[in-house]
A and B are shown apart, each in its own frame.
Chain A
Protein backbone atom coordinates (compact mmCIF):
# COMPACT_ATOMS: atom_id res chain seq x y z
CA UNK A 1 0.00 0.00 0.00
CA UNK A 2 1.21 3.40 -0.94
CA UNK A 3 1.87 5.76 1.94
CA UNK A 4 1.85 9.50 1.70
CA UNK A 5 4.87 11.01 3.37
CA UNK A 6 4.03 14.12 5.36
CA UNK A 7 6.20 17.20 5.49
CA UNK A 8 7.03 16.43 9.11
CA UNK A 9 8.22 12.90 8.28
CA UNK A 10 10.31 14.19 5.43
CA UNK A 11 11.91 16.82 7.65
CA UNK A 12 12.63 14.18 10.31
CA UNK A 13 14.20 11.91 7.67
CA UNK A 14 16.50 14.68 6.50
CA UNK A 15 17.36 15.65 10.09
CA UNK A 16 18.39 12.07 10.89
CA UNK A 17 20.42 11.84 7.69
CA UNK A 18 22.22 15.11 8.36
CA UNK A 19 22.87 14.27 12.02
CA UNK A 20 24.17 10.79 11.13
CA UNK A 21 26.48 12.26 8.55
CA UNK A 22 27.62 14.84 11.10
CA UNK A 23 28.30 12.15 13.70
CA UNK A 24 30.29 10.04 11.25
CA UNK A 25 32.26 13.05 10.13
CA UNK A 26 32.97 14.05 13.75
CA UNK A 27 33.98 10.47 14.61
CA UNK A 28 36.48 10.44 11.71
CA UNK A 29 37.90 13.79 12.84
CA UNK A 30 38.23 12.47 16.40
CA UNK A 31 39.68 9.10 15.45
CA UNK A 32 42.66 9.90 17.66
CA UNK A 33 40.68 11.39 20.56
CA UNK A 34 40.77 8.32 22.80
CA UNK A 35 44.50 8.09 22.23
CA UNK A 36 44.97 11.78 23.03
CA UNK A 37 42.94 11.39 26.22
CA UNK A 38 45.07 8.40 27.25
CA UNK A 39 48.23 10.45 26.75
CA UNK A 40 46.88 13.64 28.40
CA UNK A 41 48.87 15.57 31.00
CA UNK A 42 46.93 14.74 34.18
CA UNK A 43 48.89 17.23 36.32
CA UNK A 44 47.94 20.01 33.94
CA UNK A 45 44.36 18.77 33.96
CA UNK A 46 44.31 18.85 37.76
CA UNK A 47 45.63 22.42 37.81
CA UNK A 48 43.14 23.61 35.19
CA UNK A 49 40.34 21.79 37.04
CA UNK A 50 40.79 24.25 39.91
CA UNK A 51 38.85 26.76 37.78
CA UNK A 52 35.95 24.34 37.34
CA UNK A 53 35.88 23.33 41.02
CA UNK A 54 34.71 26.78 42.11
CA UNK A 55 31.27 25.85 40.84
CA UNK A 56 31.17 22.15 39.92
CA UNK A 57 31.09 20.22 43.17
CA UNK A 58 27.84 19.01 44.50
CA UNK A 59 24.80 17.82 42.65
CA UNK A 60 22.55 20.77 43.31
CA UNK A 61 20.21 23.00 41.37
CA UNK A 62 21.82 24.72 38.45
CA UNK A 63 25.29 23.25 38.17
CA UNK A 64 26.07 19.56 37.55
CA UNK A 65 28.74 17.48 39.28
CA UNK A 66 31.25 16.59 36.55
CA UNK A 67 33.45 14.21 38.53
CA UNK A 68 33.68 10.89 36.68
CA UNK A 69 32.15 12.28 33.48
CA UNK A 70 33.10 10.24 30.40
CA UNK A 71 36.16 11.88 28.82
CA UNK A 72 34.94 11.90 25.21
CA UNK A 73 31.58 13.27 26.29
CA UNK A 74 33.43 15.96 28.28
CA UNK A 75 35.41 16.96 25.17
CA UNK A 76 32.26 17.10 23.01
CA UNK A 77 30.40 19.26 25.52
CA UNK A 78 33.29 21.67 26.09
CA UNK A 79 33.83 22.10 22.35
CA UNK A 80 30.12 22.86 21.98
CA UNK A 81 30.35 25.58 24.65
CA UNK A 82 33.48 26.94 23.00
CA UNK A 83 31.71 27.23 19.63
CA UNK A 84 28.66 28.67 21.45
CA UNK A 85 26.40 25.85 20.19
CA UNK A 86 25.52 25.23 23.84
CA UNK A 87 24.01 28.13 25.79
CA UNK A 88 25.43 29.49 29.04
CA UNK A 89 27.43 32.68 29.25
CA UNK A 90 29.77 31.45 31.99
CA UNK A 91 30.54 28.17 30.24
CA UNK A 92 30.97 29.83 26.84
CA UNK A 93 33.51 32.16 28.42
CA UNK A 94 35.35 29.46 30.38
CA UNK A 95 35.52 27.07 27.41
CA UNK A 96 36.32 29.93 25.06
CA UNK A 97 39.86 30.30 26.38
CA UNK A 98 40.66 26.56 26.40
CA UNK A 99 42.53 24.98 23.51
CA UNK A 100 42.07 21.32 22.55
CA UNK A 101 45.07 20.19 24.59
CA UNK A 102 43.65 21.87 27.69
CA UNK A 103 40.15 20.46 27.17
CA UNK A 104 41.60 16.97 26.73
CA UNK A 105 43.74 17.31 29.89
CA UNK A 106 40.62 18.38 31.82
CA UNK A 107 38.59 15.52 30.34
CA UNK A 108 41.24 12.98 31.36
CA UNK A 109 41.42 14.42 34.87
CA UNK A 110 37.68 14.64 35.55
CA UNK A 111 37.00 11.18 34.10
CA UNK A 112 39.56 9.78 36.56
CA UNK A 113 37.64 11.08 39.60
CA UNK A 114 34.96 9.10 41.37
CA UNK A 115 31.55 10.69 41.25
Chain B
Protein backbone atom coordinates (compact mmCIF):
# COMPACT_ATOMS: atom_id res chain seq x y z
CA UNK B 1 0.00 0.00 0.00
CA UNK B 2 1.40 3.42 -0.87
CA UNK B 3 1.53 6.23 1.62
CA UNK B 4 -1.20 8.06 -0.30
CA UNK B 5 -3.71 5.26 -0.24
CA UNK B 6 -2.98 4.66 3.44
CA UNK B 7 -3.63 8.32 4.14
CA UNK B 8 -6.93 8.42 2.26
CA UNK B 9 -8.21 5.15 3.63
CA UNK B 10 -9.41 6.59 6.93
CA UNK B 11 -11.28 9.36 5.15
CA UNK B 12 -13.09 6.99 2.81
CA UNK B 13 -13.95 4.68 5.65
CA UNK B 14 -15.13 7.65 7.72
CA UNK B 15 -17.31 8.90 4.87
CA UNK B 16 -19.02 5.54 4.42
CA UNK B 17 -19.57 4.99 8.10
CA UNK B 18 -20.86 8.56 8.49
CA UNK B 19 -23.34 8.15 5.68
CA UNK B 20 -24.85 5.19 7.46
CA UNK B 21 -24.65 6.39 11.02
CA UNK B 22 -25.57 10.05 10.71
CA UNK B 23 -29.11 10.41 9.38
CA UNK B 24 -28.97 14.14 10.10
CA UNK B 25 -26.56 14.45 7.15
CA UNK B 26 -29.06 12.93 4.78
CA UNK B 27 -31.52 15.70 5.58
CA UNK B 28 -28.89 18.38 5.14
CA UNK B 29 -28.75 19.57 8.78
CA UNK B 30 -25.26 20.57 9.91
CA UNK B 31 -23.82 17.99 12.30
CA UNK B 32 -23.25 19.29 15.82
CA UNK B 33 -20.06 19.29 17.85
CA UNK B 34 -20.06 20.43 21.46
CA UNK B 35 -16.72 21.19 23.11
CA UNK B 36 -16.57 21.37 26.90
CA UNK B 37 -13.60 23.37 28.20
CA UNK B 38 -12.01 26.40 26.52
CA UNK B 39 -8.33 25.83 27.29
CA UNK B 40 -5.45 24.61 25.15
CA UNK B 41 -7.32 21.43 24.11
CA UNK B 42 -10.90 22.67 23.81
CA UNK B 43 -10.31 26.10 22.29
CA UNK B 44 -7.95 24.60 19.68
CA UNK B 45 -10.35 21.76 18.84
CA UNK B 46 -13.32 24.14 18.49
CA UNK B 47 -11.33 26.50 16.31
CA UNK B 48 -9.88 23.83 14.00
CA UNK B 49 -13.22 22.06 13.55
CA UNK B 50 -15.01 25.34 12.77
CA UNK B 51 -12.22 26.75 10.60
CA UNK B 52 -11.51 23.61 8.57
CA UNK B 53 -15.14 22.57 8.09
CA UNK B 54 -15.89 26.06 6.75
CA UNK B 55 -19.29 26.25 8.41
CA UNK B 56 -20.43 22.72 7.58
CA UNK B 57 -20.22 21.69 11.25
CA UNK B 58 -22.13 23.55 13.97
CA UNK B 59 -19.65 24.09 16.85
CA UNK B 60 -20.59 25.10 20.41
CA UNK B 61 -17.94 25.76 23.05
CA UNK B 62 -18.94 25.56 26.71
CA UNK B 63 -16.52 27.47 28.95
CA UNK B 64 -17.49 29.07 32.26
CA UNK B 65 -14.82 31.81 32.20
CA UNK B 66 -15.26 34.87 30.02
CA UNK B 67 -11.57 35.52 30.37
CA UNK B 68 -9.16 32.62 30.37
CA UNK B 69 -5.84 32.87 32.22
CA UNK B 70 -3.33 30.35 30.92
CA UNK B 71 -1.59 28.09 33.39
CA UNK B 72 1.46 28.15 31.14
CA UNK B 73 3.41 31.36 31.77
CA UNK B 74 1.58 31.92 35.11
CA UNK B 75 4.94 31.19 36.75
CA UNK B 76 6.51 33.95 34.65
CA UNK B 77 3.80 36.27 35.93
CA UNK B 78 4.66 35.21 39.52
CA UNK B 79 8.34 35.93 38.84
CA UNK B 80 7.57 39.36 37.37
CA UNK B 81 8.50 38.49 33.78
CA UNK B 82 4.93 38.92 32.48
CA UNK B 83 2.09 41.28 33.31
CA UNK B 84 -1.02 39.55 34.63
CA UNK B 85 -3.12 40.93 31.76
CA UNK B 86 -0.76 39.35 29.21
CA UNK B 87 -1.73 35.80 30.26
CA UNK B 88 -5.48 36.51 30.01
CA UNK B 89 -7.46 35.84 26.82
CA UNK B 90 -11.08 36.24 25.77
CA UNK B 91 -13.27 34.31 23.33
CA UNK B 92 -13.93 37.09 20.81
CA UNK B 93 -11.84 35.44 18.09
CA UNK B 94 -13.57 32.08 18.44
CA UNK B 95 -17.07 33.60 18.58
CA UNK B 96 -16.68 36.29 15.93
CA UNK B 97 -13.90 35.17 13.56
CA UNK B 98 -14.78 31.48 13.64
CA UNK B 99 -18.55 31.71 14.28
CA UNK B 100 -18.39 29.33 17.23
CA UNK B 101 -21.34 29.47 19.62
CA UNK B 102 -19.51 30.28 22.87
CA UNK B 103 -21.64 29.48 25.92
CA UNK B 104 -20.22 30.83 29.19
CA UNK B 105 -21.62 28.26 31.58
CA UNK B 106 -20.60 25.17 33.49
CA UNK B 107 -21.47 21.83 31.91
CA UNK B 108 -23.23 19.97 34.73
CA UNK B 109 -23.85 16.52 33.27
CA UNK B 110 -23.57 14.43 30.12
CA UNK B 111 -25.94 11.79 28.80
CA UNK B 112 -23.92 9.67 26.39
CA UNK B 113 -26.91 7.61 25.23
CA UNK B 114 -29.07 10.65 24.43
CA UNK B 115 -25.99 12.62 23.29
CA UNK B 116 -26.84 15.71 25.35
CA UNK B 117 -24.96 18.06 27.66
CA UNK B 118 -26.95 19.65 30.46
CA UNK B 119 -25.69 23.03 31.64
CA UNK B 120 -25.63 24.24 35.25
CA UNK B 121 -28.49 26.62 34.35
CA UNK B 122 -30.59 23.65 33.23
CA UNK B 123 -30.26 24.36 29.49
CA UNK B 124 -29.47 21.47 27.17
CA UNK B 125 -27.17 21.03 24.16
CA UNK B 126 -27.34 18.06 21.80
CA UNK B 127 -24.33 16.72 19.92
CA UNK B 128 -23.20 14.26 17.29
CA UNK B 129 -19.66 14.41 18.67
CA UNK B 130 -18.59 15.71 22.07
CA UNK B 131 -15.10 16.95 22.91
CA UNK B 132 -14.20 16.95 26.59
CA UNK B 133 -11.21 19.03 27.52
CA UNK B 134 -11.95 19.89 31.14
CA UNK B 135 -8.39 19.96 32.44
CA UNK B 136 -7.80 18.84 35.99
CA UNK B 137 -9.72 18.57 39.24
CA UNK B 138 -7.73 18.91 42.45
CA UNK B 139 -7.91 16.01 44.88
CA UNK B 140 -8.03 18.13 48.02
CA UNK B 141 -8.31 15.08 50.25
CA UNK B 142 -4.97 13.71 48.99
CA UNK B 143 -3.32 15.85 51.70
CA UNK B 144 -4.90 15.79 55.18
CA UNK B 145 -5.99 19.28 56.18
CA UNK B 146 -6.04 20.66 52.64
CA UNK B 147 -9.36 21.93 51.26
CA UNK B 148 -10.91 24.72 49.16
CA UNK B 149 -10.99 26.62 52.46
CA UNK B 150 -7.26 26.14 53.02
CA UNK B 151 -6.27 27.26 49.54
CA UNK B 152 -6.73 30.91 50.46
CA UNK B 153 -3.66 30.88 52.71
CA UNK B 154 -1.96 27.92 51.05
CA UNK B 155 -2.74 28.48 47.37
CA UNK B 156 -2.11 25.68 44.89
CA UNK B 157 -1.96 28.10 41.98
CA UNK B 158 -2.48 25.15 39.62
CA UNK B 159 -5.39 26.68 37.73
CA UNK B 160 -3.80 30.08 37.11
CA UNK B 161 -5.90 33.25 37.57
CA UNK B 162 -6.58 34.49 41.09
CA UNK B 163 -4.62 31.63 42.69
CA UNK B 164 -1.47 32.73 40.84
CA UNK B 165 -2.07 36.32 42.03
CA UNK B 166 -2.30 35.06 45.62
CA UNK B 167 1.05 33.28 45.34
CA UNK B 168 2.77 36.33 43.94
CA UNK B 169 1.28 38.50 46.69
CA UNK B 170 2.42 36.04 49.38
CA UNK B 171 5.99 36.18 48.13
CA UNK B 172 5.96 39.97 47.82
CA UNK B 173 4.66 40.46 51.38
CA UNK B 174 6.57 37.66 53.13
CA UNK B 175 8.54 38.77 56.23
CA UNK B 176 12.27 39.36 55.84
CA UNK B 177 14.22 36.14 56.14
CA UNK B 178 11.00 34.10 56.12
CA UNK B 179 10.42 30.59 54.81
CA UNK B 180 8.39 29.71 51.74
CA UNK B 181 7.31 26.06 51.64
CA UNK B 182 6.33 24.44 48.36
CA UNK B 183 4.53 21.10 48.52
CA UNK B 184 4.95 19.49 45.09
CA UNK B 185 2.31 17.12 43.67
CA UNK B 186 2.63 13.35 43.08
CA UNK B 187 2.68 11.91 39.51
CA UNK B 188 0.85 12.19 37.20
CA UNK B 189 -0.03 15.87 37.21
CA UNK B 190 -0.46 18.90 34.95
CA UNK B 191 2.81 20.50 33.82
CA UNK B 192 5.63 18.24 35.09
CA UNK B 193 8.31 20.99 35.27
CA UNK B 194 5.79 23.52 36.67
CA UNK B 195 6.50 23.19 40.42
CA UNK B 196 10.24 23.64 39.81
CA UNK B 197 9.88 26.56 37.45
CA UNK B 198 7.64 28.09 40.14
CA UNK B 199 10.36 27.59 42.77
CA UNK B 200 12.80 29.28 40.38
CA UNK B 201 10.49 32.25 39.84
CA UNK B 202 9.83 32.66 43.58
CA UNK B 203 13.59 32.51 44.21
CA UNK B 204 14.08 35.15 41.53
CA UNK B 205 11.62 37.47 43.33
CA UNK B 206 13.14 36.79 46.75
CA UNK B 207 16.73 37.27 45.58
CA UNK B 208 15.97 40.91 44.85
CA UNK B 209 13.46 41.71 47.58
CA UNK B 210 14.22 39.37 50.44
CA UNK B 211 17.61 37.73 49.93
CA UNK B 212 17.83 36.06 53.36
CA UNK B 213 14.54 34.20 52.80
CA UNK B 214 14.51 30.43 52.24
CA UNK B 215 12.48 28.11 50.03
CA UNK B 216 11.84 24.53 51.12
CA UNK B 217 10.47 22.12 48.55
CA UNK B 218 8.72 19.06 50.01
CA UNK B 219 8.37 16.56 47.23
CA UNK B 220 6.51 13.23 47.26
CA UNK B 221 8.65 12.14 44.25
CA UNK B 222 12.23 10.87 44.19
CA UNK B 223 12.96 12.74 40.97
CA UNK B 224 11.31 15.27 38.71
CA UNK B 225 11.31 16.74 35.20
CA UNK B 226 14.58 18.47 34.19
CA UNK B 227 15.84 17.79 37.74
CA UNK B 228 19.54 18.21 36.93
CA UNK B 229 18.93 21.44 35.04
CA UNK B 230 16.80 22.95 37.81
CA UNK B 231 19.04 21.97 40.72
CA UNK B 232 22.14 23.26 38.88
CA UNK B 233 20.23 26.47 38.10
CA UNK B 234 19.23 26.96 41.75
CA UNK B 235 22.84 26.54 42.89
CA UNK B 236 24.07 28.94 40.23
CA UNK B 237 21.49 31.73 40.59
CA UNK B 238 20.14 31.31 44.14
CA UNK B 239 22.94 29.69 46.19
CA UNK B 240 21.80 28.55 49.62
CA UNK B 241 18.20 29.68 49.09
CA UNK B 242 16.46 26.54 47.82
CA UNK B 243 16.38 23.27 49.73
CA UNK B 244 14.70 20.33 47.97
CA UNK B 245 13.66 17.46 50.25
CA UNK B 246 12.59 14.19 48.67
CA UNK B 247 10.53 11.38 50.22
CA UNK B 248 13.54 9.42 51.44
CA UNK B 249 14.51 12.36 53.61
CA UNK B 250 11.10 13.63 54.81
CA UNK B 251 9.45 10.20 55.00
CA UNK B 252 6.06 11.36 53.71
CA UNK B 253 3.89 14.48 53.76
CA UNK B 254 1.32 13.82 56.48
CA UNK B 255 -0.82 16.94 56.78
CA UNK B 256 -1.05 20.69 56.36
CA UNK B 257 -2.71 23.33 58.57
CA UNK B 258 -3.52 26.64 56.93
CA UNK B 259 -4.27 28.35 60.26
CA UNK B 260 -0.91 27.56 61.86
CA UNK B 261 0.83 27.45 58.44
CA UNK B 262 2.44 24.13 59.36
CA UNK B 263 3.29 21.25 57.08
CA UNK B 264 3.82 17.98 58.90
CA UNK B 265 6.12 15.26 57.54
CA UNK B 266 7.52 12.12 59.13
CA UNK B 267 10.85 13.90 59.54
CA UNK B 268 9.72 17.21 60.94
CA UNK B 269 7.06 19.89 61.10
CA UNK B 270 7.82 22.81 58.81
CA UNK B 271 6.55 26.25 59.77
CA UNK B 272 5.89 28.38 56.71
CA UNK B 273 5.58 32.13 56.40
CA UNK B 274 4.08 31.54 52.97
CA UNK B 275 3.24 28.32 51.18
CA UNK B 276 2.12 26.76 47.96
CA UNK B 277 0.44 23.37 48.33
CA UNK B 278 -0.25 21.40 45.17
CA UNK B 279 -2.34 18.29 45.84
CA UNK B 280 -2.83 15.22 43.62
CA UNK B 281 -5.01 15.65 40.55
CA UNK B 282 -7.57 13.84 38.46
CA UNK B 283 -9.46 14.51 35.23
CA UNK B 284 -11.91 17.42 35.41
CA UNK B 285 -15.16 16.50 37.17
CA UNK B 286 -17.28 16.50 33.99
CA UNK B 287 -15.13 13.71 32.52
CA UNK B 288 -15.81 11.61 35.59
CA UNK B 289 -19.51 12.46 35.28
CA UNK B 290 -19.55 11.45 31.61
CA UNK B 291 -18.39 7.98 32.55
CA UNK B 292 -15.26 8.09 30.38
CA UNK B 293 -12.72 7.82 33.21
CA UNK B 294 -11.03 4.69 34.47
CA UNK B 295 -9.65 5.63 37.87
CA UNK B 296 -8.53 9.26 37.80
CA UNK B 297 -8.08 9.76 34.05
CA UNK B 298 -9.83 9.04 30.73
CA UNK B 299 -8.33 6.35 28.47
CA UNK B 300 -8.35 7.21 24.76
CA UNK B 301 -7.77 5.60 21.36
CA UNK B 302 -4.42 7.10 20.25
CA UNK B 303 -5.26 7.49 16.55
CA UNK B 304 -8.26 9.77 17.20
CA UNK B 305 -8.31 10.74 20.91
CA UNK B 306 -11.80 9.15 21.11
CA UNK B 307 -12.73 7.79 24.52
CA UNK B 308 -12.33 4.05 24.92
CA UNK B 309 -15.71 4.09 26.71
CA UNK B 310 -17.80 6.09 24.18
CA UNK B 311 -16.95 6.52 20.46
CA UNK B 312 -18.84 9.84 20.28
CA UNK B 313 -16.79 11.46 23.06
CA UNK B 314 -13.22 12.67 22.52
CA UNK B 315 -11.06 13.50 25.53
CA UNK B 316 -8.15 15.93 25.21
CA UNK B 317 -5.32 17.26 27.27
CA UNK B 318 -4.71 16.81 30.99
CA UNK B 319 -7.88 14.72 31.50
CA UNK B 320 -6.79 12.00 29.05
CA UNK B 321 -4.41 9.09 29.46
CA UNK B 322 -1.97 10.13 26.75
CA UNK B 323 0.73 7.61 27.75
CA UNK B 324 4.14 9.08 27.00
CA UNK B 325 2.80 12.62 26.38
CA UNK B 326 3.04 14.87 29.44
CA UNK B 327 0.00 16.82 30.63
CA UNK B 328 0.80 20.20 29.09
CA UNK B 329 -0.88 22.95 27.08
CA UNK B 330 1.31 22.09 24.10
CA UNK B 331 0.24 18.42 24.29
CA UNK B 332 -3.45 19.38 24.53
CA UNK B 333 -3.13 21.71 21.52
CA UNK B 334 -1.45 18.93 19.54
CA UNK B 335 -4.04 16.32 20.52
CA UNK B 336 -6.84 18.76 19.61
CA UNK B 337 -5.68 18.86 15.98
CA UNK B 338 -5.66 15.07 15.74
CA UNK B 339 -9.18 14.91 17.22
CA UNK B 340 -10.46 17.76 15.02
CA UNK B 341 -9.21 15.95 11.93
CA UNK B 342 -10.84 12.67 13.02
CA UNK B 343 -14.14 14.34 13.97
CA UNK B 344 -14.39 16.20 10.65
CA UNK B 345 -13.67 12.94 8.86
CA UNK B 346 -16.43 11.13 10.73
CA UNK B 347 -19.00 13.91 10.31
CA UNK B 348 -18.33 15.20 6.82
CA UNK B 349 -16.22 12.52 5.15
CA UNK B 350 -13.18 14.81 4.88
CA UNK B 351 -9.80 13.12 4.55
CA UNK B 352 -8.32 11.76 7.77
CA UNK B 353 -4.55 11.91 7.95
CA UNK B 354 -2.18 9.96 10.17
CA UNK B 355 -2.17 11.12 13.80
CA UNK B 356 1.01 12.95 14.81
CA UNK B 357 1.67 14.60 18.13
CA UNK B 358 4.34 16.86 19.58
CA UNK B 359 5.20 18.59 22.84
CA UNK B 360 7.81 20.98 24.15
CA UNK B 361 7.95 22.33 27.71
CA UNK B 362 10.04 25.46 28.18
CA UNK B 363 10.97 26.55 31.71
CA UNK B 364 12.60 29.71 32.96
CA UNK B 365 15.14 29.31 35.78
CA UNK B 366 16.37 32.91 35.99
CA UNK B 367 16.61 35.98 33.74
CA UNK B 368 17.54 34.76 30.24
CA UNK B 369 18.19 31.23 31.51
CA UNK B 370 15.61 29.10 29.70
CA UNK B 371 15.62 25.31 29.31
CA UNK B 372 13.39 22.98 27.33
CA UNK B 373 12.42 19.36 26.98
CA UNK B 374 10.36 17.95 24.14
CA UNK B 375 9.35 14.98 22.05
CA UNK B 376 7.20 14.01 19.12
CA UNK B 377 4.90 11.04 19.08
CA UNK B 378 2.86 8.68 16.95
CA UNK B 379 -0.31 6.75 17.61
CA UNK B 380 0.40 3.13 18.52
CA UNK B 381 -2.49 0.70 18.69
CA UNK B 382 -2.77 0.98 22.48
CA UNK B 383 -0.58 3.91 23.43
CA UNK B 384 0.86 7.16 22.14
CA UNK B 385 4.52 6.31 21.51
CA UNK B 386 7.63 8.51 21.42
CA UNK B 387 9.29 8.96 18.01
CA UNK B 388 12.11 11.29 19.00
CA UNK B 389 12.99 13.50 21.97
CA UNK B 390 15.47 16.08 23.24
CA UNK B 391 16.37 17.98 26.40
CA UNK B 392 18.52 21.05 27.10
CA UNK B 393 22.07 20.20 28.13
CA UNK B 394 23.76 21.22 31.39
CA UNK B 395 26.81 22.67 29.62
CA UNK B 396 24.97 24.99 27.22
CA UNK B 397 26.24 28.55 26.73
CA UNK B 398 24.34 31.49 28.21
CA UNK B 399 23.64 32.50 24.61
CA UNK B 400 21.77 29.24 23.96
CA UNK B 401 19.81 29.64 27.23
CA UNK B 402 18.79 33.18 26.25
CA UNK B 403 17.66 31.99 22.81
CA UNK B 404 15.65 29.22 24.48
CA UNK B 405 13.88 31.78 26.67
CA UNK B 406 13.15 33.99 23.65
CA UNK B 407 11.82 30.95 21.82
CA UNK B 408 9.37 30.34 24.69
CA UNK B 409 8.00 33.87 24.28
CA UNK B 410 7.45 33.18 20.58
CA UNK B 411 5.75 29.90 21.44
CA UNK B 412 3.40 31.60 23.92
CA UNK B 413 2.37 34.09 21.31
CA UNK B 414 1.97 31.29 18.76
CA UNK B 415 -0.08 28.86 20.82
CA UNK B 416 -2.44 31.49 22.23
CA UNK B 417 -3.08 32.74 18.69
CA UNK B 418 -3.63 29.14 17.60
CA UNK B 419 -6.18 28.73 20.42
CA UNK B 420 -8.05 32.02 20.36
CA UNK B 421 -7.69 33.93 17.08
Task: Please give the residue numbers on chain A whose beta carbons come within 8 Å of chain B beta carbons, in ascending order.
Answer: 41, 43-44, 46-48, 50-51, 53-58, 60-63, 88-90, 92-94, 96-97, 101
Contact = CB atoms under 8 A, between A and B. Distances in A.
B282 interface: no
A93 B390 contact: yes
Interface in B33-75: 48, 52
Give the one of B360, B389, B409, B414 with max A CB within 10 A: B414
A60 B390 contact: no
Contact of B372 (A60, A89, A96, A97): A89
Contacts of B407: 55, 62-63, 88, 90
B3 interface: yes
B353 A44 contact: yes
Contact of B411 (A44, A55, A88, A92): A55
A51 B334 CA distance: 7
B376 A58 contact: no
B403 interface: yes
B389 A57 contact: no
Interface residues of B, number: 38
Interface string B368-394: 000010111000000000011110100
A58 B410 CA distance: 8
B417 A58 contact: yes
A53 B52 CA distance: 14
A54 B413 contact: no
B321 to A, nearest CB: 22
B390 A89 contact: yes
Contacts, number: 87
Nearest to B389: A93
Nearest to B4: A41
Contacts of A41: 4
Contacts of A50: 48, 337
A101 B7 CA distance: 13
7 contacts: A48-B353, A55-B411, A60-B410, A62-B407, A89-B372, A96-B388, A101-B3
Given A54-B358, A57-B417, A93-B374, A47 B410 contact: no
Given A51-B356, A89-B374, A61 B337 contact: no
A40 to B, nearest CB: 12
B413 A94 contact: no
B408 interface: yes
Interface string B328-345: 001001100100010000
A56 B353 contact: no
A92 B374 CA distance: 11
A90 B417 contact: no
Interface string B2-13: 011001000000
Nearest to A89: B390
B410 A93 contact: no
B334 A62 contact: no
B294 interface: no
A55 B330 CA distance: 10
Nearest to A50: B337
Nearest to A87: B400
B414 A55 contact: yes
Given A62-B409, A89-B374, A90-B374, A51 B414 contact: no
Contacts of B330: 54
B266 interface: no
Contacts of A48: 353, 356
A54 B415 contact: yes
Contacts of B389: 93
Contact of A93 (B334, B351, B375, B408): B375
B388 A93 contact: yes
A54 B334 contact: yes
Nearest to B40: A54
Give the one of A44, A55, A61 with max B CB within 10 A: A55
A56 to B, nearest CB: 6
B297 to A, nearest CB: 23
Contacts of A61: 406, 409-410
Given A62-B409, A90-B374, A96-B388, 20 more contacts: A44-B7, A47-B341, A47-B353, A48-B353, A51-B358, A54-B333, A54-B334, A55-B415, A57-B417, A57-B418, A57-B421, A60-B410, A61-B406, A61-B409, A62-B403, A62-B405, A62-B411, A63-B410, A63-B414, A89-B374
